Structure formats: structure tokens, C-alpha cells
Homo-oligomer: A and B are copies of this chain.
């Protein structure tokens, strides 16, 4: 006990003298690691709210939760910024069967976000396996009435799994459009992951108003391999897809905002943020519960240490990143009209794993300035400052000249869980999560003091 009292005494007494960036960084690190409050917040979000798809009751609960937590974290002001968000509902049915030589094999699938549903009995057609859009185009007439099965896997040799995702995700995003162009009636897409398991991952897909809308579902990697093997063995494999997904009219909702108002330059903003919505599978613990609690924890840590930022540090919990980016767009429109200057925005939307650095999109002068903080960030192993980065939500601030910064956590495990039932809190490590919040606190603090 004596040791604890001594430690606390040292902590508080050092606040008086803590002036240099590295002293503040040390205090933020120690307080964060002692309390591990980001994890406590995440546990609370998951247990009291759960999934938070735009337009769902869960998302509305999350708005109230976010507001309350920003208040509890000590934000000087907290408000809700209105935004109309889409409402897509998966419904109870998502089922697929392959039929080969009279035998029926069930495939583990899930509806892709935004897909239309099928008629009650589903859509049935012979299935054609492809790996890219050139192969789809080359099918021409042969694709008519068929189900197109996109089966290009992640490139495992990519060190950063985000790059592997980037190299495969056009199948999910635009696969239905390209397949419909040649007359296909449905789409199955191999799940976007390096993992080999029976869990399909959802995620956004698009339609084009001038092209027929056809249903689209993700198939687990195990069943993608199984289907591919069936097709290799037998020419005529047919698939039936049944989906009950439906899109409803947009609904009104909110992005949640809380800030520590700058003591000298309140109209200059350093933004930290993540997105409050999640997919409807799993609980969005990593995506993007982590970004949400990172942002709230930045406010808590800075307030707890009684630090007074020169410029405003604002936490933004964006609405609807997953299927529409309405929160990001609306926030940028709001930012344009406030007369405030958004100097920099730091987004956390790549999971709650150990952060190794930040990706920065800006001119070379400002990039170099941010890179000069690398030695400061080294105390929490977050010193890799790379060119390029940001986030979907803050991306809409680009036209305002805002420096866009993305937190870069370790990527190896992220796509094992991403957009699936596996994205649950047991995959998040309390200390790894906290490091992200500490790194964002340090960077937002120095930017609030030095400007950029």
C-alpha cells in the first residue's frame, strides 16, 4: 500500500512540472497502462449495447452510450450531430446449397451488406468459378442465368494483411455489378480472409442503378474450397441461394462528438475518431469498438492528467462507416460550415491490436514534422510513421486541408475476425488495446500544443 501511495504522490506531483512532450508522453503511458480503461469501456459497450448496424436499435443505444461515456470521460462539451443513415436488414434467411450429381451439399454463407433478397425459393443456376473481372467479361453469353462464384484468395505473401484485403475486396464490392452485366442471376464471393474456417464474413457490396440488381453472399473459405473442388470434378454444379435481406428507407440518427476545448485556439481542431456503427455479425469488438474506445480514452487520459490543450482535442464517434459513410460525409459538411480549422484528424479503424505507428497523408513538410514525433512515440512502440493513411470517416476532410492520420496496428489477426461472428471481445487484449489509446493521446496532445 505504501508503494502505491508513493507512486500516486509521485504521479500527481510530477503533473505540476510535466511540461516537455516526453514527460507528458510518459505520464499518459503510465496512467493508461495502470488503468487499462479502454478495455473496460469496450467490455461495457459490448455487454450493454452489442452489435450496432446503422438503422438498428443497437445503433441508437450506441449513440446514447457514446454520449454518456464522453461525458464520464470528462469532455468539456458533448453533442449529437444529426445525420440520415441507411437501414439494411439481413433478415432470418441466408442459405445456399450446391447440387452435384443429384447430391445436395449445404454451403455456409451470409448475405453481403446491401444485397437484395431472393424470391422465396431462392435463385438457382449452374455455378461458374472466376477469379477476376476479366474472366467474367470473357464469359459473355455463357454467364446468362448462371451464379458467378468469385474465388480469388488473399495473397498470403503480403506481409500486411490489409494489402491482401485490398487486392481481393473488389470481388465483394463490385462482383454483383460485373456479374449482372453479363446476365448472371446471383453471386457467391469467397470470404475476405487468410483464415481457413467455416465462418463467412459480411461487408459492403454495391449496385449500379443502371444495371440489374442480383443477390450476393459471402461463402466461408472452407466451403469456397469445397465448391471449387466440386466444380473441378463435375462440370454441372448448380447452386441455390436464399436471402431475406431488405433495404428500408433511411432513418435519422447521429454522430457523437465530445471535446476538450482548446485553451488558446479553440477553433483549431485536432480530431480523434472511430466509427460507432458495426456490422450485425459478432459484436464489432475490433471493428470498430476499438476505435470508439480509443477515442474516448484519449479524452479521459488528457482530462485525468489535468492537461490543458492549447487547441481543441475532439473525439468523433462517426455514424455509418460500414455501409454508406454518411457520418464521415456529414461531419465534413458540418466542419466546412463551422468556421473551425481542422488541422489534423487521427482515425483508429484497423482493430485494437498492438499499434506500430501511424500512416499520414499530407504534404512533405507536415509529414516530416509528424515524423519528428517518432522518437516520442517510441516509448509505446508506435514509432513507424509512414506516408499514406487515414481512414474512411476522416477521408472526407481532405478538401479542407486536414492532415489525415490513421493508427496502424498489427494486421496479422484482423481479417480472421473482420465483419464476422468471430469479432468478439475475447479477441481483444487489454494492454494491446490500451497502447492504441496512449499512442493517439500522445500524438493528439503534441499536435494540440505545436499545431501542424
Measured CA separation A343–B161 after assembly (Å): 36
Q: Are A157 and B34 in contact (CB-based, < 8 A)?
A: yes
Q: Are A354 and B412 in contact (CB-based, < 8 A)?
A: yes
Cβ contact of A429, chosen from B30, B156, B413, B429, cutoff 8 A: B413
Measured CA separation A3–B432 after assembly (Å): 38
Task: Say whether A5 faces chain B, with CB atoms less than 8 Å apart.
Answer: no
Q: Are A354 and B29 in contact (CB-based, < 8 A)?
A: no
Query: Given contacts A410-B354, A412-B431, are A3 and B131 in contact (CB under 8 A)?
Result: yes
Interface string of A408-452 (1 = CB under 8 A from B): 001011000000000000000101100100000000000000000
Task: Say whether A6 faces chain B, with CB atoms less than 8 Å apart.
Answer: no
Q: Are A159 and B379 in contact (CB-based, < 8 A)?
A: yes
Q: Are A33 and B157 in contact (CB-based, < 8 A)?
A: yes
Tell me which residues across on chain B come within 8 A of A36, comparing CB atoms. Answer: 156
Cβ contact of A29, chosen from B3, B157, B194, cutoff 8 A: B157
Expressed in whole angstroms, the minimum distance between the Cβ of A226 and any Cβ of chain B is 17
Measured CA separation A33–B153 after assembly (Å): 14
Measured CA separation A156–B413 after assembly (Å): 24
Measured CA separation A185–B275 after assembly (Å): 57
Measured CA separation A381–B158 after assembly (Å): 12
User: How extensive is the interface on chain A, given as a class?
Assistant: 20 to 34
Expressed in whole angstroms, the minimum distance between the Cβ of A170 and any Cβ of chain B is 16
Tell me which residues across on chain B come within 8 A of A30, comparing CB atoms. Answer: 157
Task: Say whether A380 faces chain B, with CB atoms less than 8 Å apart.
Answer: yes
Tell me which residues across on chain B come within 8 A of A161, comparing CB atoms. Answer: 431
Identity of the chain B residue whose Cβ is nearest the Cβ of A413 in the assembled complex: B429
Expressed in whole angstroms, the minimum distance between the Cβ of A34 and any Cβ of chain B is 6
Q: Are B412 and A159 in contact (CB-based, < 8 A)?
A: no
Q: Are B412 and A410 in contact (CB-based, < 8 A)?
A: no
Tell me which residues across on chain B come within 8 A of A432, comparing CB atoms. Answer: 412-413
Tell me which residues across on chain B come within 8 A of A413, comparing CB atoms. Answer: 429, 432
Cβ contact of A380, chosen from B131, B156, B159, B410, cutoff 8 A: B159
Identity of the chain B residue whose Cβ is nearest the Cβ of A438 in the assembled complex: B159
Expressed in whole angstroms, the minimum distance between the Cβ of A332 and any Cβ of chain B is 33
Interface residues of A in 95-115 (CB under 8 A from B): none
Expressed in whole angstroms, the minimum distance between the Cβ of A434 and any Cβ of chain B is 10
Interface string of A380-399 (1 = CB under 8 A from B): 11000000000000000000
Measured CA separation A231–B277 after assembly (Å): 46
Q: Are B412 and A156 in contact (CB-based, < 8 A)?
A: no
Q: Are B156 and A33 in contact (CB-based, < 8 A)?
A: yes
Measured CA separation A429–B414 after assembly (Å): 11
Measured CA separation A381–B381 after assembly (Å): 13
Measured CA separation A435–B381 after assembly (Å): 18
Interface string of A345-360 (1 = CB under 8 A from B): 0000000001010000
Identity of the chain B residue whose Cβ is nearest the Cβ of A356 in the assembled complex: B381
Cβ contact of A381, chosen from B3, B29, B159, cutoff 8 A: B159
Interface residues of A in 122-168 (CB under 8 A from B): 131, 156-157, 159, 161
Measured CA separation A379–B157 after assembly (Å): 11
Cβ contact of A159, chosen from B29, B34, B159, B429, cutoff 8 A: B29
Q: Are B381 and A156 in contact (CB-based, < 8 A)?
A: no
Expressed in whole angstroms, the minimum distance between the Cβ of A80 and any Cβ of chain B is 35
Measured CA separation A413–B353 after assembly (Å): 11
Tell me which residues across on chain B come within 8 A of A431, comparing CB atoms. Answer: 156, 161, 194, 412
Identity of the chain B residue whose Cβ is nearest the Cβ of A384 in the assembled complex: B381
Expressed in whole angstroms, the minimum distance between the Cβ of A114 and any Cβ of chain B is 29
Q: Which 10 A-B residue pairings sit nearest by Cβ, starting from the closest?
A: A30-B157, A33-B157, A412-B431, A33-B156, A412-B432, A34-B156, A354-B410, A413-B429, A412-B429, A354-B412
Apart from A3-B131, A161-B431, A354-B410, list 8 A-B contacts with CB within 8 A: A30-B157, A34-B157, A159-B379, A159-B381, A354-B412, A410-B410, A412-B432, A412-B435
* A to B CB contacts below 8 Å, 7 in the list: A3-B131, A29-B157, A30-B157, A159-B379, A354-B410, A410-B410, A412-B431
Instruction: Name A's B-contacting residues (CB within 8 A).
Output: 3, 29-30, 33-34, 36, 131, 156-157, 159, 161, 194, 354, 356, 379-381, 410, 412-413, 429, 431-432, 435
